Structures are given as C-alpha cells and as structure tokens.
Structure 1
Amino acid sequence: MKKDLEVFKEIRLQANSGLYKYRTEAQIDSIYQWAEDEIENSSTYLDFYNIISQLTDFEGSLHNDTGLPDKYWESLRAENFGYFPYPIKWIEGHWRINFEGGELPLGAEVIEINGEPMAEIVKNLHKYYTTDGFNLTAKRIGLRTHFSRYYRWHYGQKEEFDVTFKAIGSNTLENKMLESISYSDYYNKFRARHSFPYDQVDYMDLKEDQKYGFKQVNDSTGVLTLRSFSIGNETTDKHKRYAAFLDSIFSKIKNDKLQNLIVDVRLNNGGDDPNDLLAYSYLTQRNFQENTEAWIRFRKIPLIRYYDIWIPRFIRPFVVGGYNKQFQEIFPLEKDGAYYQDDTSEDHHVWQPQENAFTGNTYLLISPVVASAGSLFAAMLAGNENTITIGEETSGGYYGHNGHTTLTYALPKSKLTTSFSIVNLKQDVPVKSNQIHGRGIIPDYKVSQSFEDFINNEDTQMRFTLELIREN
C-alpha cells in the first residue's frame, strides 16, 4: 500500500494539471498525510481502494477515475450476499425507496441504516462518484444507481440491514430488518425501479436519432433536445447529418418567428468536438472560442513504466514518443513549468454566430448529469443575457474543467488503475455573480422533481418552464 501510494502521488504531481485547480498545496499535502496514516489502520484490498478513491475524488474532476482490476471485479459481481436490497432516489431533500412491492413501501424516507444516519452514509459514499470542483448534486446520480454497491465497498458485506424509515405521509419512525441480497439481484431490482418510465432514457445506449431532436409546443415556443454530443467529429457522416439538422431547425425557427426556445441538455454528459460549439453558434450573438486557455503539466509523458497501455514494456518508449511529439505541437508555449496552447490552436479558433442564430428568449434546462462537453455548451449558453437557466446544478464546472486527453496509469502492486484528463481548460464564459468558482452551473431557478411527480413519474422541470414562459 505504501509503495503504491508513493507512485500514485508522484503520478499526480508530474502528470495531472488539475491537482491544484480547486485545492491548495497545503490541502493536497494534508490529505496525503491522512492517507499515509490511514494505511497504518488498513488491512484489506478494498481498504486501499477506498483510500485511493478518496484522494481521486478530493481533487475535483469529473474525469477522474479509480478502477479495479478485471479479476477483482469478477469476484465482486459473483458475490451472493451483502448488498442492500433496494434502489433509492433523492427527492426534495430526502433519500426515498425507489421500488414498489418490496418490504419497505415505495417512497418511504430512509432515516438510518444499521444505526447510522443517511447523511453520514451518503457523505462516506461520495468518493465513488467524481464531480468537478466541490459539486455534490451529481454525486446523487451515482448513488441512485449504485447505492448498494457503494455501501458494500465502504462498509463491507452485511448479512442484514436494520433500516429506520418513515412511510409516506407519516412522522412515525419505523424499523425493518432486511436480509441482504446478491450483487446481481440488486441490479435486477434497479432495472425494475419505480422511476423506470421517467428516467429510463438516462441509462439507454442512445441511437443517433435519439441524441437530438426538436418539437414545436405552440405558435411561439419550441423545444430543442440535445441529449448527447457523441455524434462524431466533422469528418463523419453522423456529424454532417447533425449539422444539417441544426441548419434546418433554426431556419424553421426563424421562419416561424418563434419567440421562445427551450434547450434541454439534462441528459448531456459530453461527446465529440465540435458538436457543442456548432450548437452554440446557433444560440449566440457573439464571437466565441472553445476555451481562452488550455495547458498541461509535462513536455513528455512521465512515469511511462506505469502507463497503462497494452504494448510490451520494451517498445513503450517508442509509442509514447509519438504521443509526446503531438503534445509538444499542441502545447508549445512554456510558462512557469506548464505548457500552453498558442493562438494557432484549433481550440482558439474564433467562431461566429450563424446567420439563422436564435435571438429570442432561451430557457436552458440543466441537471446534475450535465458534464464535459455538455457542461461547456451549457455554461456558454447560461452566460447569454437572453438565457434563463432552470433545473439543478450540473456536474461540470461553469468556469472551466479538466478535459480532452485522458491518461491511465496502473499502480504496480495493487494493479488499481487511475485515469484523469490532462488538459486544464478555462472556458470562454462571462463572469456572473450567481456562478461560483469550483461549482457546476448554478440555475437561475432551482427546480427538482417534486415528490408527487416522482410518484406519478412526471417532469416537474419542463412543466415549470412552460408555466414560466406563459407568465412572461
């Protein structure tokens, strides 16, 4: 554990440009001291995984990840007990049972599990789902999907769970002893969750025609849905069809003289350049670029003996040499020990508004799912003066993030993998008083699904937006 911790820290210091993006050097030193102390009290493989996961999450990048080796993953998936039996979902400030027909009633508020308050449990599980900066809303996405797995990772396998809960409409605390279930049985129950009709699209492998679309609500309002930017780059047929779609739709919007446009990106967790920028060019009146600053920490990929790449070690330097040449061309400017893009970079290409760019009232719908290129697009759009932003804080940051190229290393003893995006980006967005450094995009109207709409599987945010348009 000590050897791997030393390697992990050295990798971050030499390769990760986001190490001090949200944390001071003193804070980073402090958590590594915590990790060294924690190792003295640790004895199992998962103990060490939990320590590395805490360090990974602390940095504050949604592209950070700590991975388990395949053989260990297989052993976990084969476990036949030890897992909490029901999915849960965050609704109006409470964690509620998201399963109908079980021993706990649908919608019951979970207060404690095995004597520990849910607030403490959830705090302990945050480390398994990384987000940008200090964002917490998106961690609920991971918990609503993988709560049982996360609980097992942190607390170990449990034969049973003593659950304290409140039923719907009751202030009475009740207790129920639940037997644990297997890994696979939990995910079977998750697939049968109550909210499936409402949120199934969140988990779908979207087809091309499901990734974007448009519908007109009435004579004055339309809805542009952008669920993903994974549509290929400008050389692909998929991108060309997407570009033609945008051109056609915004011509129609202009010809029909629509006054209001709802842009729904609530499921958009990123994708390919330049699909985000192309969409924004139809929604702005200003010249813009992908970012105003981008840099990496190294001239050559460091510590290549730990670089997780499937080629023999003795020829690894030759392959990595090709990558290094590309990095040196993309990031030629050295300043204070970092390497920056120059004005010739494609990322600094200045885009202009499209001829048919929308000039009316824009209503942007966001959620904690929004990340990476999705949050870059949403941040730019939220920065427009004619945009009202509705929903919940995004996972991706407003002012910047670490993105683009990902490096993956394998720790030598444990074989845990650690992945992170190496390009520190400053986004081309205006400073706004309601947008906070280190946070996701903050909506103008904070709206989440209501309890009643959770029970009925209805869309609180879209209804709120349509009502707001009518009022305006």
Structure 2
Amino acid sequence: MLKSKTILIFLLPLFIFSQNEKWPSEKLKQDLNIFKEIREKANSGLYKYRTKQQIDSIYSWAFSQLDEPKELIEFYKILLQITDFEGSLHNDTTLPDDFEKKRSSGNVFFPYPVKLISKQLIINFENSEIPLGSQIHNINGIETQKLLSSLYKYYTTDGYNITGKSIGIGGSFAKYFEMEYGPQKSFLVEYSLPNQTQKLTKMIASVSNEIRKENFKKRFSLPMDSLQYARAKDKYSFKLISPNAALLSVHTFVIGRNAKDKIHIAYKKYLDSCFKYLSEHSEIQNLIVDIRNNGGGTDPNDILTFSYLTQKPYRENASAYVNFQKIPFANYLVYEETDAKKQQEERKDFEDELLEEFPKLINKKYPQDKKFNPVLQPDKNTFKGQIYLLISPRIASAGSLFAALVAGNTNAIVIGEETMGGYFGHNGHTPIEYELPNTKIKTQFSIVNLEQDVPQKANQVFGRGIIPDHEISQTFEDFMQNKDTQFEHTLKLIKNN
C-alpha cells in the first residue's frame, strides 16, 4: 500500500521474551509514552482527522489500561487502537517477528474463508460442514457486527473510512480472530443457509495456519478476487471490448522505482501506444479505466497515467509538508544495517533528501519546495471521450491519489465502492519505522502530509475515500455466480449512453 519515495528501515537486535509473560506496568507505560512522543514529533498526520483533544483523550484511555501488568498481546491491541484511530492507511504497528511465529503454531484458526457482502459475513468456501454462501450470525457466541467491529483496528484506512476494512477482514479473518479472541480449539457457528432465515448451529474444528492459507487459496471467489487481492502477473493491460469502447486495467503502480527505471519506461511506451491508437480511432468514444486492485506504488506512475486522461494542466498535489528535517528519536529507529558507520550514512542520506525537498520552516512546518511539485501538461494523445472509472475498497495510496485526480478533474463517471484512500489527501510518500525499547513492538507511518489537487464536490466528504457516482457492490446472487457486477453495470451505461 505504500506510495514511497524513500524508505528508511533499520534493524535492532532481537529481544527474547516469554509468550505469556506479563509485562510490568512501568515498562509498558514507558513504551506508550515513547510511542506518543514519536508520533507528536514525527507524524505530520497526527491531527489530520483528529483534534488534539481527541488524541489526548485516547492516550488517557490507553494509560489508564496499564495500571496492572499485561501480556504483550494485550498491550499490542491498545497500540493498534491508537494506530487505527489516527486515520492513515500507511500506519502499521507490528508484533516482534518471533512472537508472531510462535502464535501461528497449532490448530487454532477458523477454517473457512469468508467474504463481506452487503454487510453480511458469508462463507466463501465449498465444504461439507457449512454450505457455501451461508450467512454467519455469530461465532462462539459473538454476534457478527460486534465481531467485525472488534477486528477493524487490525487494518488501517484513511480518515473515517470503513469500507476498506472489508479487504483486511476478507483476507485475514481467521488470523484477526485468533489475535483478538485467542487460540480456539473449535468454533460454534450460528448461521443460516443461502436465501433462508432459519438459524442453524454447527461445531467445527480449528485448523493450522498452513491449512488456513491453503483454504484461502481455494476460496470460491478466487476468479473475481483478482479485482482486489491478486498480485497480477500482468500489471496493466489494454483491449477493445466493442467497436466504440476500450478497457485499460492498471492493477498496481508498482511499475519501476522511478522515472529512470526501465520498467517504468516500458510502461510509458505502452501507454503511448494505447492512447495513440485511441486518438487515431475517433469511433472509440468510451474508455473504462479499471483500477479496482490498485493498492498504490511509486512515482511517477500515477501522475503519468493521469496525463493521458486530463484536458488541462495539473499538479501531483496542492501542498505537502513534513514535521522535521532531523529525524527525532533516532535512537529508536529500526536499522537495516548492523554496521554503525553504514547506519550513520543511511540516516544522513535520508535527512539530506528531506532538507532538499522540504528546505524551510514556515509556521512550524517544512513545506515542499515547488520544484518537486511542478505544473504538468496533458499528453498530446490525451483521451477526449467519456471515461468510466472502476473503483473498490482496495484502492489506496498512489492508487487513490490517481482516482481522486480522475474523479475530480475529468469527465469520468465513477462506478463501484468507496476507496480506502482519501479523496482530499493522505499521509504518504516516505515511510519511517521505529522500535519501542522494552517490548520491541515496531510502528511505521508515512511522514509527508499532502493535500491532493482536487476540487470540492457535492458527494465528497472530508475524511472519506473517493465516493462513486454509481455505488455498485457485488450482489449475493452475483457472488454465487462469480459475476462482475460493476463491470456489467458499466457496459449497460455505455450501451444506454
């Protein structure tokens, strides 16, 4: 999901601890205080969606939970609540690697993949115990809506977005359940059969992490999940779908690391050929741009793609800033190199780049120098017909920046579901990672607070993702037939127009 220009990742020595050890209250409070101070100094997005009073309030709650010793996993969940509350999909707080490995052993996981359809939790796996398409009402006595809400903190999204959390829950439901409620020997599931209301119960056995992963690979919706989960072999494609319509699919913006990368150059040549063809065939008046699997990537793939769709000059963003030039709390950075000299060199390179791009302190912020955000021009073969943009909750980071530019600055008709990435802006570009000294829990966030170059729109609300003009979700009936509801709706729009 990262839209990264510079990645600073370091490693500290591993800390050995007991799986069920209860940590002294003072040690946990020390780590929580450092966690708080790091974010206040380094995280420019801390108050993007929350007031200082709200942030102070959640920390007051967190400290109040630490008056007694706690297991590491319980402390971790408190940090997750804060990480998610801030409202940035680039936020990530993780347990130590050794701790994660130990938790994955044994038959402790819910066995079957699930999918959220119309806010209902549906069995997404053909099996002999609970039929495919059955709706789950509760598991081990936990009602579904309460269960889902408890899992939201494990998958961060921008602002106040909720739809994006369906991606995390659909992909990692069993893992999140085990994390939240502990290892389970079995699951008592209350469910109803497809299109029925009578509630049934079934006790099913837990499975290992290996079987959980294998079942997910064999989930029923796999043919359709290429739109949201797949790491497509073909990162992009173009084809004619009718005499007057074409389809451009861009599944990721991880297409080379920068403008000089040969992979990016090949992508640019590909786009050139596609849009030259469209400009030479004026009968093709409709272009579907499908980015439903696009979780982001690197510059300048997103803004390059936009240059073929816009009719007017544009910028990547309206403004951007960071909180610092010298890395605060550098003694807690996670180092990639073990050699002290190499660590120092890498840190200096990182700070030199910040100094160049964000050179002056203005009103307690370091704004981006204008040369890093120039006015850009449409491509000479920019498409002049009707654009149809297909979006989903999977869209994040550079994917959502691109979607926002298209939705806000072209004639595009936007179809699908709200993106997890924000319409008006996000924190991105440059991730940084720290490790807490006692528990060795790691926390990562992106330091560039940027406002996207988009206009106000009646259907766009601050703190939300890109809102579609036509809100179209896969229906249960289409799920059972693995139909692409959104694409078929788009074809009907083209036919009627």
- Provide the TM-score with structure 1 as the length reference: 0.96
Distance 2:67 2:115 in 1: 36
The structure 2 residue matched to 1:230, chosen from 236, 245, 254, is: 254
Contact 1:305-1:313 at 8 Å conserved across structures? no
Task: Give 1:206 shift.
Answer: 3.3
Contact 2:400-2:421 at 8 Å conserved across structures? yes
The structure 2 residue matched to 1:331, chosen from 358, 362, 367, is: 358
Distance 2:220 2:68 in 1: 41
Name the count of aligned residue pairs. Answer: 467
Residue 109 of structure 1 aligns to which amino acid in structure 2? Q
Is structure 2 residue 151 aligned with structure 1 residue 125?
yes
Deviations 1:287-319 (A, max 9, x none): 001111110111210001100013458544554
SS at match of 1:217: strand
Distance 2:68 2:277 in 1: 65
Task: Give 1:333 shift.
Answer: 2.4
Residue 96 of structure 1 aligns to which amino acid in structure 2? I
Gaps spanning 5+ residues in structure 2: where? 1-27
- Counterpart of 1:402 in structure 2 is 427
Is structure 2 residue 239 aligned with structure 1 residue 215?
yes
Deviations 1:322-347 (A, max 9, x none): 322221111012122111112222xx
SS at match of 1:383: helix
- Counterpart of 2:403 in structure 1 is 378
Contact 2:228-2:392 at 8 Å conserved across structures? no
Task: Give 1:92 shift.
Answer: 2.1
Contact 1:76-1:183 at 8 Å conserved across structures? no
- Counterpart of 1:164 in structure 2 is 190
Residue 240 of structure 1 aligns to which amino acid in structure 2? I
Deviations 1:384-408 (A, max 9, x none): 3511000000011001000001100
1:51-66 equivalence runs, <5 A? 51-66=78-93
Deviations 1:133-175 (A, max 9, x none): 0111110000011101101111111222221111112111111
Residue 225 of structure 1 aligns to which amino acid in structure 2? S
Contact 2:325-2:355 at 8 Å conserved across structures? yes
- Counterpart of 2:451 in structure 1 is 426
Residue 227 of structure 1 aligns to which amino acid in structure 2? H
Contact 2:114-2:173 at 8 Å conserved across structures? yes
SS at match of 2:190: strand
The structure 2 residue matched to 1:367, chosen from 378, 392, 395, is: 392
Is structure 2 residue 194 aligned with structure 1 residue 174?
no
Contact 1:88-1:97 at 8 Å conserved across structures? yes
Structure-2 change in CA distance of 1:321 and 1:240 (3 Å): closer
- Counterpart of 1:457 in structure 2 is 482
Distance 1:81 1:43 in 2: 25
Contact 2:386-2:411 at 8 Å conserved across structures? yes
- Counterpart of 2:95 in structure 1 is 68
Distance 1:320 1:242 in 2: 32
Distance 1:217 1:344 in 2: 41
Is structure 2 residue 44 aligned with structure 1 residue 17?
yes
- Counterpart of 1:140 in structure 2 is 166
Deviations 1:45-71 (A, max 9, x none): 110111111111111111110112221
Distance 2:346 2:129 in 1: 56
Distance 1:201 1:285 in 2: 28
Distance 1:124 1:32 in 2: 19
Contact 1:42-1:48 at 8 Å conserved across structures? no
Which range moved further: 184-193 or 363-372? Answer: 184-193
Distance 2:328 2:357 in 1: 17
SS at match of 1:268: coil
The structure 1 residue matched to 2:347, chosen from 320, 336, 341, is: 320
Deviations 1:345-387 (A, max 9, x none): 2xx1111111111111110000011111111111000113511
SS at match of 1:125: helix
Gaps spanning 5+ residues in structure 1: where? none
The structure 1 residue matched to 2:463, chosen from 420, 424, 438, is: 438
- Counterpart of 1:340 in structure 2 is 367
- Shift >6 Å, 4+ stretches: none
Distance 2:409 2:350 in 1: 37
Identity percentage of aligned residues: 47
Structure-2 change in CA distance of 1:41 and 1:219 (3 Å): farther
Distance 1:211 1:114 in 2: 41
Structure-2 change in CA distance of 1:226 and 1:137 (3 Å): same
Task: Give 1:181 shift.
Answer: 1.7
Residue 59 of structure 2 aligns to which amino acid in structure 1? Y
SS at match of 1:344: helix
Residue 304 of structure 2 aligns to which amino acid in structure 1? L
- Counterpart of 1:105 in structure 2 is 131
Task: Give 1:106 shift.
Answer: 0.5
Residue 87 of structure 1 aligns to which amino acid in structure 2? P
Residue 241 of structure 2 aligns to which amino acid in structure 1? V
Which range moved further: 116-125 or 233-242? Answer: 233-242
Residue 444 of structure 1 aligns to which amino acid in structure 2? D
Is structure 2 residue 317 aligned with structure 1 residue 291?
yes
The structure 1 residue matched to 2:285, chosen from 242, 259, 279, is: 259
Contact 1:227-1:265 at 8 Å conserved across structures? yes
Is structure 2 residue 269 aligned with structure 1 residue 244?
yes
SS at match of 2:70: coil
Deviations 1:7-44 (A, max 9, x none): 10011011000100000001000111111122236621
Is structure 2 residue 220 aligned with structure 1 residue 194?
yes
SS at match of 1:56: helix
SS at match of 2:473: coil
SS at match of 1:370: coil
Contact 2:293-2:392 at 8 Å conserved across structures? yes
Task: Give 1:321 shift.
Answer: 2.9
SS at match of 1:403: strand
Deviations 1:206-234 (A, max 9, x none): 33xx1111111111111111111111121
The structure 1 residue matched to 2:77, chosen from 50, 75, 88, is: 50
- Provide the TM-score with structure 2 as the length reference: 0.91
